[in-house]
Structures are given as structure tokens and as C-alpha cells.
Amino acid sequence: MLNKVVTLQAEKKPHMQDDKNLSEIEIENQKIIQNKELSIWEALIPVFALIGMLAYNVFVFGDDALSGSNQFILLLGGAVAAIVGFKNKVSYERMIEEVAENIKSTAGAILILLMVGSLAGTWLISGIIPSMIYYGLQILNPTIFLVACLIICAVISIATGSSWTTAATVGIALIGIGEALGISLGMTAGAVLSGAYFGDKMSPMSDTTNLAPAMAGTDLFTHIRYMAYTTVPTFVVTIIFFIILGFTQTTTGEANTQLMLNDINKAFNITPWLFAVPILVIILIIKKTPPLIALLAGTILGGAFALIFQPHVVAQIAGVGKLNFESAYKGIMQAITVETSVATDNEVLKDLFTAGGMKKMLGTVWLILLAMVFGGVMDAIGALAKISSFMLSLFDSVFGLFASTVATCIGLNFTASDQYLAIVVPGKMYAQAYRDKGLAPENLSRTLEDSGTVTSVLIPWNTCGAYHSGVLGVPVIDYAFYAMFNWLSPFTTLLFAAFRIKIKQLASK
């Protein structure tokens, strides 16, 4: 949650005194670098190169593109940006410094990713996730499952203020239940993320919900109230979409479900007491405990509950017949760090009874790091500022201003690979333009969230897309269409702008 006062401060670093055409504005820890030498076409060269290379790479590798080749393409995109920078008198040192700053900003996200992997491991062997699946199969059926996912995740995300935490806890369990019910993983992930991002946008505890009004120059609760005009109708349409989608799903059959329930019971000791751990984690986050600490507590408690309720599973993981201190330690540590599987003869449950630990998250960490390389170089050469300024100059009408903001936010999610930059950069660059048009700052803050926050999860190399894809185990391309709330939100805000619905004017105008 961000409650800091945002200040603008011109800054020039000592070793950069020779970069006469470069200037930068520092906003908290985010810098907007401007380069007078750079033309708009030069700024777009790395973007077009990256999109072209990624498109061909996905064509060749398909779903395996995220296994490593896309990561290298991001590095090549950064190299193209660096060549453009060298041509425009940007030093290598400046580029490396901006890359380092970008990577530094992702340290918390990377640690949370690793902790999510460890939490998934201990929650599997403790029986927490199997218990969620067990009880979920009895309560939820395919007809109501998707809309239930949407609403459950929305409530949890409003309470916690975090789409990431929602996906890492209840989202993982819902993916398992959906797979057991025979529902497409893409559909389930789309419902989970639609609900999670609705809650993330509307929660006063969300960092982006605090950041957007700070950048635009309005207050938090004015921003939330004004954002509800576009967000609630979009969410209602999303609910209707998933209700209709639910009726298209065929039931798995009572006999198959019962067989699955029996096999879960054979592998684990199922008890409602296991829900104490996820409930405690959610309470910690509602109490504003840092997510990293809450997830660590959930991991440790998951390991303790595994020893209490599932000692036979821990023994199996450790490869021994009877537990002692050493084998118990080995079994828990393996679940935390590497891939573990719980034995079952049920083919459907084999995937559900497998967790990857911290090791599973390394591919996502790799993707985030190299996305930050590309974004850092683009920022260092002044390309991000140039593209934003160009977009601002294209339009003169009120609708054009809104459209330019939306395009810039989405473009920055593609190029800078970070939703915070997609809020910070347009927020500061468009604030004066909104004032000049006589528009209240909440118009800008709402548009930043409607286009910057929610679309980040639809881009595979963005930190949010990489995170959720890694946590849920579903490629972005599989869930992108079904994450209806996320891609519909920018269209809703443009629709409101086109018909001048709830476009608040400045009092002085």
C-alpha cells in the first residue's frame, strides 16, 4: 500500500554530466528520462523489433516459447534498443544503471514468486490443497463453478488488496478444482484473474489503487468512487459472460466425481482443520502484514501441518518407511524447494498431486529479469518518454486524450514490462493535458487503472503476466480471452469518454 507523498525532482547524476541532451524526472523511485536526440521512429524501432521477433518465436515454439526462447528474445530486444541508444549518444553506463534500477524494483516480486512456489509445495503435502479440491468438488459443479471463481476471487482480492496473493492462495486451489471437474484451465484462470483484478482495483489496500490517484493528483477515495462507474458495469458484464459460459460446460458425472473423492481420501487425511492455515494467511494480509512474511508463515505452517496430519506423505517424499527428525526435515525441504509428487493411481489426480516448489518459479524469475533488461534500456535511451509524448501530440479532442492515455498505458505494459511504469509514466506526462482540457484529475486516475493495471496480466513478458502464468500453471495465451474483465476495461473507459458519461470537469472550468 502506497501512502507516500509523490514529489517531482529534476536530477542529474555526477557521471552523466556529459549527456547534455538527457534529462530525468524522479518520481519516488521511478525516473522518466527524456532524450532530445531521439526521434519517435527511432524510439519505436526496438518495439517493432521485439514484437516481430516474439511473434516468430511463438510461431516456431508455440506454448514452449516461455521455456527460454522468449526470454532470450527480450534480451535481443534490449540489444536493439541499446544500438539505438548508442546512435543517440546514450552511454553504456546509463543503460546499465537503468537496467539495475529496474531489476532492483522487482526484488520483492521475485522473492514472493519463490515463496509462492514453496507454499504450494507444503500446502500439497500437508493436504491443504487436496482438501480444498475435495470439498470444492462436493460444493461446486461445472454450471456455477466459473462464476463462483469470479466472485470468490473478487471478495478475497478486495479484502487483501492483492491480485497476486489471491492467485497464489485461493487461485491455485480453484485451478485444481476446475481441472478435476474437467473445465478448461484457461477458463478457470480467466475467471480467477478477472475477479482478482476487480478486487485489486477497488480495494483501498491495493498499491496500484493508491499509486494512480497519487500520479494524477486526486485522493484515494475519490478515485475509487469515480472508478466504480466504469469498473462495476464491466464486472457485471463479466459475471454474465461466465454464467453463460458455465451453462455450456458438461458435468463430469457423479460416478467419476465419487471415484476421485475416494482416491483423494486414500492419499490424504482430509479434515476441515487444514483450512486453518489459508485462513490465517488471509487474516495476516488483511491485517496489512507484508505478503512475503504472510507467505513465509503459510509455508512454515504448511510444513508443520504436513507432519501432524500427513506423516505418511512426508515419509513417501523423503523415501523412507518411518519418519525421524532427519527424514522429516528432508521431506519438508524437498517439498519447499523442488518438484514433489504424491503417489496415486488416478490419472486425473496425478497432475493435481504434483507441486514444483521454488524450482518451478525459476523460469518465471528468468522472464521477469530479462523483461526488466528491455524495459530498463528503453527507459535509459528516452524511448518511453518519447513514445508517450508522441501519443499525447496526436490528439486534440477530449476523446483523443483518453484514447492516447489508454494506448500509452497498454504500450508501456508491452515495452516496459511493468504495470507500475504503465501508471507512473502516463500519469505524470498526461496530468497537465487533462487540466488544460478542464478535466478533473480523477478522469486520469481512473483511465490509468482501467488500462494500465488490468492489461498487464495479458502480456506474457510483463511481470504480472509472467507471475500469474507461473503461479497458476496456465500460459497467458490460454487464459487471455477468458480474462474478460481485464481486456474489456479499456474499452469501457473509452466508451464512457466517447459518450461523455461521467467525465467530471474541473470546478474552475
Of 19-23, 233-237, 312-316, 502-506, minimum mean pLDDT range: 19-23
pLDDT digits (tens, 9 = 90+) for 459-494: 988 889 988 998 898 999 999 999 999 999 999 999
Give the residue ranges of DSSP H helices in 416-460: 421-436, 441-448
Is the pLDDT at 2 greater than 60, yes or no?
A: no
Task: Assess whether pLDDT exceeds 50 at residue 343.
Answer: yes
Structure confidence at residue 434 as a pLDDT band (50, 70, 90): confident
- Its pTM stands at 0.70
How does residue 507 score in pLDDT terms, banded at 50, 70 and 90? low
Place of cell 516481430: 52
Instruction: Name which of 16-30, 170-184, 200-214, 270-284 the model is least confident about.
Output: 16-30
Separation of CA 134 from chain center: 28
The x, y and z cell numbers of residue 449, run together, are: 487503472
> What is the rounded distance in angstroms from the CA atom of residue 353 to the CA atom of residue 176?
9
Separation of alpha carbons 478 and 468, rounded Å: 12
Report, as an integer, the average pLDDT of 426-438.
Answer: 80
Q: How crowded is residue 244: how many other Cβ atoms within 10 Å of its Cβ? A: 11
What are 287-303's pLDDT values in tens digits?
Answer: 878 878 888 999 999 99
Whether the predicted pLDDT of 3 surpasses 80: no
H-helix or E-strand spanning residue 91: none
User: What pLDDT sits at residue 12?
Assistant: 36
Distance of alpha carbon 277 from alpha carbon 270, whole angstroms:
14
- Per DSSP, the three-state class of 439 is strand
DSSP assignments along 3-42, one per residue: -PPP-EEE---GGGTT-TTEEEEEETTEEEEEETT--HHH
Nearest CA among 371, 442, 440 for reference residue 412: 371
Task: Provide the β-strand partners of residue 115.
Answer: none
Alpha carbon 70 to chain centroid distance? Answer: 18
Task: List the grid coordinates of 278.
Answer: 489459508
**Integer Cα distance of 505 and 507 in angstroms:** 6
pLDDT of residue 281: 85
CB 414 within 8 A of CB 460: no
Residues in the chain: 509
CA distance 368 to 456: 13
How many whole angstroms separate alpha carbon 258 and alpha carbon 265?
A: 11
DSSP state letter for 82: H
Look-up of cell digits 479434515: 271
User: Taking a C-beta distance cutoff of 8 angstroms, is the pair 195, 151 a contact?
Assistant: yes
CB 357 within 8 A of CB 334: yes
Grid cell of 331 as nine digits? 521431506
Strands of 22-27's sheet, edge to edge?
8-10, 22-27, 30-35
Instruction: Let me know: does 174 contact 149? Beta carbons within 8 Å.
Output: yes
